[in-house]
Amino acid sequence: MNASDMSRPPGRRRPSRARARLLGALSAPGRAPASGPPPGTARGPAGARRPYQALLAAGVAALVAGVLCFAALRPGDAAADTVGAGGYTTTQVGPLPSGCGSISTDPRQWVTANAPSGAVPTNDWWSSILWKRTNCAYGEPLAANPLTFRAQAGGLGFSYTTTPSISGSATGPGEYHFPYREDFVAGVAQLNAPDVKVDGWSDWTVSPYLSDGARSLRATVGKGLPFAYFRTSGGNAQLTASGGAAPTVWSNSGSWIGYTINGHDYAAYAPSGATWTVSGSTISSSLAGKDYFSVAVLPTTASASDDDRKSLATTYGKSAYDHVTGTKASYRYDEAKSTVTTTYTYTTTAMEGGGTGTVAALLPHQWRYLASGTPLPQAYVSPRGALKVLTGIESFTTSMVFHGVLPEVPAVADSGGSDATTLQNYLAAEKSDPTKQVSDDTYWTGKGLGRAARLAEIADQTGNTAVRDAALSAIRSKLTDWFTASPGKTAHLFYYDRNWGTLIGYPASYGSDQELNDHHFHYGYYIAAAATLAKFDPQWASEDRYGGMVDLLIRDANNYDRADTRFPYLRDFDIYGGHDWASGHGSFAAGNNQESSSEGMNFDNALIQWGQATGNKAVRDAGIYMYTTQAAAIQDYWFDTKDQVFPRDFPHNEVGMVWSDGAAYSTWFSADPAKIQGINLLPVTGGHLYLGYDHDYVLTDYKDMLTNSGATQPLSWTDIWYEFLALGDGDRALADFRANSGFTSEEGESKAHTFHWIRNLAALGHVDTSVTADSPLSSVFTKNGERTYVASNITSTDLTVHFSDGTTLAVPPGKTVASGANEWSGGSATGGGDDGGTPTPTITPTVTPTGTPWKPTLYPQSDGSVLPAPGTTGTATLASAGGQTHDGTPTDPVTFTAEGVTLKYNGGATALDLAVDAGTAVGNGPQVRISYDRTGDGTWDRVETYHYFATDPVPGYEHYTQRTGLESATGSLGDLDGGTVRIEVWNAIGTNPTTLGTGDKSVVTLPYN
């Protein structure tokens, strides 16, 4: 399901196959939207989505990373269902994804032998040509923006629609689209391909392939590419204007031709020495005996002169022969600066000459944050607003600020009085059933888990250990059940399908099985709840318990590891578009779609929380990348906060869902304005503070909802709307809640969370985006000109958070701290508060520790010393093992020693995170031994040797952690009383030295308080 359907009975399922076929016929290419009653009167699942809401009303009212957590997917492995203490099944449980032909068992039916191996992508802007649902030969139009393409027997159709189709009213459902209106077809003379196949793909390109056996056409098209690139065989290249009208040619000299069709300017580039011939509606070229050409749409307007067109076509022509053959985005999170830098890179093949540059049309969420480069003065019209153009580039880079997330807003309001009693009464009412789920499927189970996680966080902050433990117990029980597959079990489990490369939970819901819809929506709740549980029960979250299953859910929805081909890379996330897509097949005339952008953000936030709780920075940083990028996309494409995206005549300030070719003020399940707008607000968590980045917009959106509802208070989802209002005006939201608290909670909500959220935001004020921090779990709020600094430390070691305005905040282990002019009190995050008290932290200056008193964190320094806090960045060199094996025996080790250590043992285990880099060397394996002399008498009371870590041959630090496992351990741990801790690191194998990062790069965390 594409968000919570609160108006429908739980468990209601997708339409019948017959009805789906009917709706598929209605969305066939070239068919205009049907007219009918207002949309939203009935809801179909995300995977049964139609191209327009009017149609809805009319039609239906392994590799290394893989070995660590998923070795079970190796064919022939007898323990194929085991992941740590849990597992999945490889025995089919229910119906598989369905489509044309044999796609249910062979998703590669529509790919060629040239296509990449591994799991096929789904949930993409071009998925309909690979996973055919309604047009079994050619799929649906592909809205790449600025161009839209449609495969057909004779070639690839081009559409550059600049006039939107707008329907609906100012107060009711409505939509806008830039529908496919074909200008011409690029093909090969006499080509008559029976279907289209996919010959390749990259991060934001796809290569459709058409062949009739005698002739063929291979195209490469992509998001933001004004060019389409072609390879041909068996005949002349041919451009045929649609509708029979002759194109207007404004330049035809040499190998390129400029022409206008339907008021849109194009340029086609043939090989040097070739010419173009115009005959009626057809432009053709023999390509001088070669097999390539390219076509570009120009960002010119009707007022442009022929000289303007020629000048721009000449500029584009400099890149016309540098065919884009691959695209890739890479991201980097700079923790100190709290920035996300994303580089979009193009791989090109020079068909002639030696050029490498291309032309890119940037979307608003890209050009607003462009790090360098100056776009052309001309821009393209698109469903996403103006697309600005860079020419002659090999890459471009964006830089965005990450403003942080929180496990939950802090308990800063007065802890006494009637409000405190009210909150505790609300909490007590939830003790017997914290999840309170309404249906037993993946989506509603997830919603229940999310509900319980919020209760656990609030109860812990306020010292209510009984409710906290009840909520954690419910989370643990449900997750453990779902993460365990046993013989004969057919419900509450996950099934891995090798052919599709996906993990499906059963009972499935809203097309999550047969259409692979909404996996990020469903699984985001599981991961977020697991992150909350991990803070209180880290053993449960370990790789050898249930952490591996959590990782599989992450990889299924948005695999962050390119080397892991068991799942497609970032399945649900449109890398160029900047946001998720919900439908697995995307087979609609309007392309793919997504409502509930906030549930997509719930998934991203879950990765941040889980990664932080488990020390997995790869997961954390993937979450931060998607979260920051998608937050920017939502501001533009769902909310249009700068009033620069929606068409001028579109009567709404926000939309319920975004389509590839437009957007709609509607949902799949309701015509209620509170739900149309509210579907992009839930669930409300500490990871949804982005909704308050523009607090003026919050008030505008709230007012619109009331106006469109014809009401003075929300008529449905009242709690969601009060919580949203609190991000813009907390005092008003609190007053409204006090006056109207008798509403029924939305199914993922509770009165306890709603009251906690509103009451504390009324004290905190607005989200302050002008200040950042060097910790991802942090935020800043402003009220009456005074700032409150908030940070959460969900680890077992002390943390000092540095804010960009010079403020520092000391955060004890397991605490959420809020501190400012009023010196708010902090709350516990990992089991504190048993005595009902909360610490009162202060803002402290930055202090560099000098050795004592010791803390549980030991940071090796390049001079062989150890500090209890990060020092100056440096390195140490581990000598080569000389081709010998020193596994378990320190040989030429680099040694770091801490003496005079007095700490109390907490019953846990040693943790480590060593930054190691073997450069391009193959076969190195650093190893570590940690020894404890508990009293400093010269006797090692405990010696732990960890398995060596096999480094990769790629420059850059890797993380050697305790997850490699203990190879041996002798003695026992206990309190340290003037004791000594020694850390020895050496190369156990390999023929090259290894670099060990020191100062602030590596840390050993002792199991001590």
C-alpha 235/C-alpha 293 separation (Å) is 13
* DSSP for residue 89: B
- Do β-strands 911-917 and 292-297 pair in parallel, antiparallel, or remain unpaired? unpaired
Q: Which residues contact 109 (CB under 8 A, 6 or more apart)?
A: 101, 102, 103
Spot the catalytic one: 5, 556, 564, 595.
Answer: 595
Side chain identity at residue 288, one-letter code: A
The alpha carbon dihedral of 464, 467, 471, 474 has a sign of positive
C-alpha 313/C-alpha 250 separation (Å) is 11
C-alpha 977/C-alpha 399 separation (Å) is 49
Q: What is residue 387's three-state secondary structure? A: strand
C-alpha 452/C-alpha 435 separation (Å) is 5
Q: Which residues contact 634 (CB under 8 A, 6 or more apart)?
A: 579, 597, 601, 680, 690
Q: Which residues contact 350 (CB under 8 A, 6 or more apart)?
A: 321, 322, 323, 356
The verdict on whether 518 is a catalytic residue reads yes
Q: Are 134 and 24 in contact (CB under 8 A)?
A: yes
- The full length of the chain comes to 1009
Per-residue buried b or exposed e for 702-740, using 16+ beta carbons within 10 Å of the residue's own CB: bebbbebbeeeebbbbbbbbbbbbbbbbbebbbebbeee
Structure token digits, residue 725: 């209002």
DSSP H/E element including 447: helix 442-461
The verdict on whether 823 is a catalytic residue reads no
| Paired strand residues for 86 | 83
| CA separation, residue 16 to residues 44, 95, 411, 817 (Å) | 11, 13, 49, 52
C-alpha 385/C-alpha 363 separation (Å) is 8
Q: What is the CA radius of gyration of the chain?
A: 29
C-alpha 688/C-alpha 680 separation (Å) is 10
Q: What is residue 332's three-state secondary structure? A: strand
Question: Residue 930: is it exposed, middle or buried by C-beta count within 10 angstroms (0-12/13-18/19+)?
Answer: buried
C-alpha 189/C-alpha 178 separation (Å) is 29
CA 623 to chain CA centroid, nearest Å: 6
Spot the catalytic one: 182, 430, 457, 518.
Answer: 518
Angle value at C-alpha 519, between 515 and 520, nearest 5 degrees: 145
| CA separation, residue 55 to residues 35, 633, 680, 773 (Å) | 7, 27, 22, 47
Structure token digits, residue 416: 């006494």
- Do β-strands 786-793 and 778-783 pair in parallel, antiparallel, or remain unpaired? antiparallel
Spot the catalytic one: 599, 672, 746, 944.
Answer: 599
C-alpha 282/C-alpha 295 separation (Å) is 14
C-alpha 949/C-alpha 542 separation (Å) is 18
DSSP H/E element including 422: helix 417-428
C-alpha 26/C-alpha 89 separation (Å) is 38
Q: Are 781 and 764 in contact (CB under 8 A)?
A: yes
Q: What is residue 172's three-state secondary structure? A: coil
Q: Which residues contact 179 (CB under 8 A, 6 or more apart)?
A: 33, 161, 165, 589, 590, 661, 662
What amino acid positions are annotated as catalytic residues? 518, 595, 599
